[in-house]
Structure 1
Amino acid sequence: MLILTGEDTTADMVIEELNERGAPVVRFDLADFPRSVTTSARYGGGRFAGSLTTGSRVADLSAVRSVYYRRPALPSFENLAAQDARFSRDQVRFGLGGILSTLPGCRQVNHPRRQMAAEYKPTQLSVAAELGFAVPPTLVTNRLDDALEFVAEQGIVVYKPLWPTEYEQDGEARTIWVRAVSPDELDDSVGATVHLFQARIDKSSDVRVTVVGDRVFCVRIDSPFTDWRERYDLIQAYTVIEPPAGLPDLLASYLERFGLSYGCLDFGIDAVDGTWWMFECNPGGEWGWIEHETGLPIARAFAHLLSS
């Protein structure tokens, strides 16, 4: 099997589990091309043949049965002029990336194109609502009047970025966290781009649900913040809990709809009636720290998924 990743402790956890199973693993990063990675593939004549070579391994691509993508990076081609570097990166992305994403009889965890299709938050919420998840009232708009009307209807509303765009302020990386928005903060700047506003749920706690194949891992997260990711050091507790009846089937249907093998979903538990409100799904989400905090065998589940 192939593991596409850079220096990553989470990928290390999966590879360790695979090594214990005696599964053959070839690890590399697209960023290593062409310095220490070469590839060749032939098509036509009714069959496929190809190989990939790293600094220490050779993989027969026709024999690969699973690929695990763990945040691979494209090569920089720093030795080339900017225009030539852009051209070369695109050729690697659509050439080597295309070879890997169409390997015959191969499980892709997760397939890059399917993962990208599953990244769109409006699509996530639409599918979730259709399947029967509890989804908070949500507005996606660049119309100020509609935003003001939504806030008036819902009372307390939060703002969420639709994509985690890299952002810097005074030379430092910044993240836009989920936060409450008051009517007096809304002005004509709403019209400059598209925004996501959502009714704030009065939640007793958050839940991170990690689904790997048919395994479901639910962890309650108690934090004083609207967005628990804002301060990991102030998270009060991680508690392994069971999902409510019917949720595993909904999760399986959700991943199947997008053609995903795993996903990390965020829920909020209603403080009044205990409803699990579905906020979003990260189809390439982080989970290593959850295993570290709780001891849940998530890496083992990935190893089973990749090797079975």
Structure 2
Amino acid sequence: MTEKRPVLVITEADDITADMVITELNRRKVPVVRFDPADIGAGLTVSARLGTHPVRVAGQVRTPSRSARLDDIRSVYWRRPRWPGFTHLGDDDARFAAAQVRHGLGGILYSLDGPLWVNHPLRNAAADYKPAQLAVAQQLGLVIPPTLVTNDPDEARSFLVEHEHVVFKTLRWTPYRRDGVPVTGWAEPVTPAEIDQSVRVTPHLFQARVPKVADVRVLVVGRRLFAVRIDSGLLDWRRDYSAARYSVVDLPGQVSKALLGCLDHYELVSGSFDLALDEYGAYWWLELNPNGQWGWLEENTGLEMSAAFADLLTEGHAA
């Protein structure tokens, strides 16, 4: 049966993962309106009226090829949107224009409480703090590595002496270039001798190294869990995807329950979890990415992840 109410897919143009979900929605004949906030202008028009209609927000969002009434949207897939930078304007005008888009377009979209959000961006933002994640995970009964977040060099050295093998992790990924070359932050071993006064500049995350034999990436879509074991032999498997081998695994019931509890805590309907598996079969919490990548896992395992997203977005509610 054709579902006439549309799904909004909000993401950048080059998003293979979103493409996979849209392909599934097209197969179900579900209307899709896709746009990127960076297209505001000729590529994206939005209008909203408040206070003059029975519904909370009335209006529409329109692209050159599609349109949707704001009160008729079934669900919203918030993937990898880009906000415009207005680089053709002067600095002050660019900051002003960018703020108007974030608080105008963003405010209109965030006010939509009828559709299912996967995930609502404000919920994503609330869940995107690693120290808070660790505290929640421990409260839910998951095992977390001993962790220190500090900008005190003495505290950092003391922690590194206390725990023989320690890694440094970034608290938040950001785009970064060194000498014009894009670089990223991996989990890196660190020793007491490397700690100096530069630690004082910002908080740093230090974590005791987990005695792992493999990593496990878990994608949750609604209440469906997809768990994939990643064998790479690397401290951080993201360094070399070609070294990774993938296999589908079943999680212990208490781990599954805790991961679902974590999403419930943050009011999310989807999320990607990174866990570590030790030689005794224990699962260690590493982190939650509220909007993590998963397309390559479907390609390597055949798990029907994109179909699960399409089901969720079509149904308009989590099971």
Following TM superposition, by how much is the alpha carbon of 1:262 offset from its aligned partner in structure 2, in angstroms? 0.7
User: TM-score scaled to structure 1, two decimals?
Assistant: 0.96
2:8 counterpart residue number: 2
1:250 counterpart residue number: 258
Measure, in 1, the Cα distance between the counterparts of 2:208 and 2:73: 46
1:262 counterpart residue number: 270
Measure, in 2, the Cα distance between the counterparts of 1:262 and 1:109: 6
1:30 counterpart residue number: 37
Is contact 2:21–2:309 with CA below 8 Å preserved after alignment? yes
Of 45, 48, 51, the residue aligned with 1:41 is 48
2:57 aligned with 1:51, yes or no?
Answer: no
Does the residue aligned with 2:124 lie in a helix, a strand or coil?
A: helix
Correspondence 1:178-193 to 2 at 5 A:
178-193=187-202
Measure, in 2, the Cα distance between the counterparts of 1:101 and 1:18: 23
2:302 counterpart residue number: 295
Correspondence 1:115-154 to 2 at 5 A:
115-154=124-163
Following TM superposition, by how much is the alpha carbon of 1:90 offset from its aligned partner in structure 2, in angstroms? 1.1
Measure, in 1, the Cα distance between the counterparts of 2:87 and 2:197: 42
Does the residue aligned with 2:71 lie in a helix, a strand or coil?
A: helix
Measure, in 2, the Cα distance between the counterparts of 1:263 and 1:103: 21
Is contact 1:62–1:104 with CA below 8 Å preserved after alignment? no
Of 78, 98, 101, the residue aligned with 2:107 is 98
Distance 1:185 1:85, change over 3 A: same
Is contact 2:214–2:233 with CA below 8 Å preserved after alignment? no
User: TM-score scaled to structure 2, two decimals?
Assistant: 0.93
Does the residue aligned with 2:228 lie in a helix, a strand or coil?
A: strand
2:175 aligned with 1:166, yes or no?
Answer: yes
Following TM superposition, by how much is the alpha carbon of 1:224 offset from its aligned partner in structure 2, in angstroms? 2.2
2:248 counterpart residue number: 240
Is contact 2:9–2:33 with CA below 8 Å preserved after alignment? yes
Identity level (%):
50
Measure, in 1, the Cα distance between the counterparts of 2:208 and 2:201: 22
1:278 counterpart residue number: 285
One-letter amino acid of the counterpart of residue 239, structure 1: S
Measure, in 1, the Cα distance between the counterparts of 2:188 and 2:86: 39
Listed as ranges, the gaps of 5+ residues in structure 1 are none
Does the residue aligned with 1:72 lie in a helix, a strand or coil?
A: coil
Does the residue aligned with 2:216 lie in a helix, a strand or coil?
A: strand
Following TM superposition, by how much is the alpha carbon of 1:82 offset from its aligned partner in structure 2, in angstroms? 2.6
Measure, in 1, the Cα distance between the counterparts of 2:46 and 2:201: 45
Is contact 2:133–2:288 with CA below 8 Å preserved after alignment? yes
2:164 counterpart residue number: 155
Aligned length: 306
Of 224, 228, 233, the residue aligned with 1:219 is 228
Is contact 2:216–2:227 with CA below 8 Å preserved after alignment? yes
Deviations 1:67-90 (A, max 9, x none): 101101112334432321221111
Q: Please identify runs of 4+ aligned residues in structure 1 that moved more than 4 A.
A: none
2:20 counterpart residue number: 13
Deviations 1:230-270 (A, max 9, x none): 111222x1011111122221111100100111111101111
Superposition RMSD on alpha carbons, in Å? 1.2
